[in-house]
Amino acid sequence: MAHIPVGLQTYTVREDLTRDFVGTLRRVAEIGYEGVEGLPGGGLSPREYRQLLEQLNLKTPGGHVPLEQLESDLNRVVELSQEIGARFVTIPYLAEPRRRSADDWRRLGEIMTRIGERLAQHSLVLCYHNHSFEFQRFEGKYGLDLLYESSDPRYLQAELDTYWIQHGGEDPAEYIRKYAGRVPLLHIKDMAADGDFAEIGEGVLDWPRIFDAAEAAGVQWYLVEQDRCSRRTPLEAIALSLDNLRKMGKVAR
């Protein structure tokens, strides 16, 4: 089985990045992450951001881009993605007015297919990142399933999130298997017994089953994310998550 790199979704360390963008990314690299999912910040141009990542030996699969930005300024998104060396463009969220019915979800599938087709012309892959609101049923089906049923798998892939699948009442491993071949990016995020966010290996998720499913499904990146770090600082939390992943045999360095 080919090694799956472990990266960090930079939202986890957003406050640290605001204070010291370069120093925080340097610390992420020192902890041992192989890449970061995130866009330029700290006053860096896309070219400078790419140079910084190269200096730190960090790769980037891409970043999160709102659907509205893709609809209004797709050319700039393409340009930015190419400048930083990204392959994936991921929609991170959907505003509530856009997802109120089954027809809304079907319409979103059509919209995302069109956007993904245009991105594919530039060798970019569109993904959608779920939370738990997608596990509301419409006409007997989850919104998330309606989205993927209504879109072309060539042009819309999934960035599934283990915590939010669990939060939505489903089994993360089973959902990864359900979309095998369509999940290049996986947000790995643990859940504490009280439902709060937890460091990988410190919560209740069944990681052996999740990783078995991910490897079988063709996941290309594991991306650690912890929306809120209640028990430790974000940098302490991401270090603990990576240390636990190292113990699980999921980290190459």
DSSP letter string, the chain: -PPPPEEEEGGGGHHHHHH-HHHHHHHHHHHT-SEEE----TT--HHHHHHHHHHTT-B--EEE--HHHHHH-HHHHHHHHHHHT--EEEE----GGG-SSHHHHHHHHHHHHHHHHHHHTTT-EEEEE--SGGGSEETTEEHHHHHHHTS-TTT-EEEEEHHHHHHTTS-HHHHHHHTTTS-SEEEE-EE-TTSSEE-TTSSS--HHHHHHHHHHHT--EEEE--S--SSS-HHHHHHHHHHHHHHTT----
Give percent above pLDDT 90 in the chain.
98
CA–CA separation, 91 vs 59, rounded Å? 20
Q: Is residue 152, in this structure, part of any structural domain at all?
A: yes
- What is the value of pTM for the model shown? 0.97
Q: Is residue 73, in this structure, part of any structural domain at all?
A: yes
Q: Is residue 188, in this structure, part of any structural domain at all?
A: yes
Q: Is residue 252, in this structure, part of any structural domain at all?
A: no
Q: Is residue 114, in this structure, part of any structural domain at all?
A: yes
Chain centroid, CA 125 distance in Å = 13
> Which CATH number covers residue 25?
3.20.20.150
Q: Is residue 60, in this structure, part of any structural domain at all?
A: yes
> Tens digits of per-residue pLDDT, 106-126?
999 999 999 999 999 999 999
Residue 197 tokens, joined = 């966010």
Residue 28 tokens, joined = 């992420």
Amino acid symbol at 61: P
Write the burial class of residue 31 (CB in 10 Å: 0-12 exposed, 13-18 middle, 19+ buried).
middle
Strand partners, 142: 137
> Tens digits of per-residue pLDDT, 206-244?
999 999 999 999 999 999 999 999 999 999 999 999 999
List the domain range (segments joined by +) for residue 181: 6-247
> Tens digits of per-residue pLDDT, 139-178?
999 999 999 999 999 999 999 999 999 999 999 999 999 9
Give the model's confidence band at 252: pLDDT under 50 very low, under 70 low, under 90 confident, else very high: confident
Q: Is residue 1, in this structure, part of any structural domain at all?
A: no
Q: How far is CA 94 from CA 59, 73, 132, in A?
A: 27, 17, 11
pLDDT at 2: 74
pLDDT at 173: 98
CA–CA separation, 60 vs 115, rounded Å? 21
Chain centroid, CA 246 distance in Å = 20
Q: Is residue 253, in this structure, part of any structural domain at all?
A: no
Q: How far is CA 89 from CA 54, 59, 104, 185, in A?
A: 20, 15, 22, 11
Residue 136 tokens, joined = 């509301």
Please state the rounded mean pLDDT for residues 63-73: 98
CA–CA separation, 56 vs 52, rounded Å? 6
Please count the structural domains in the chain. 1
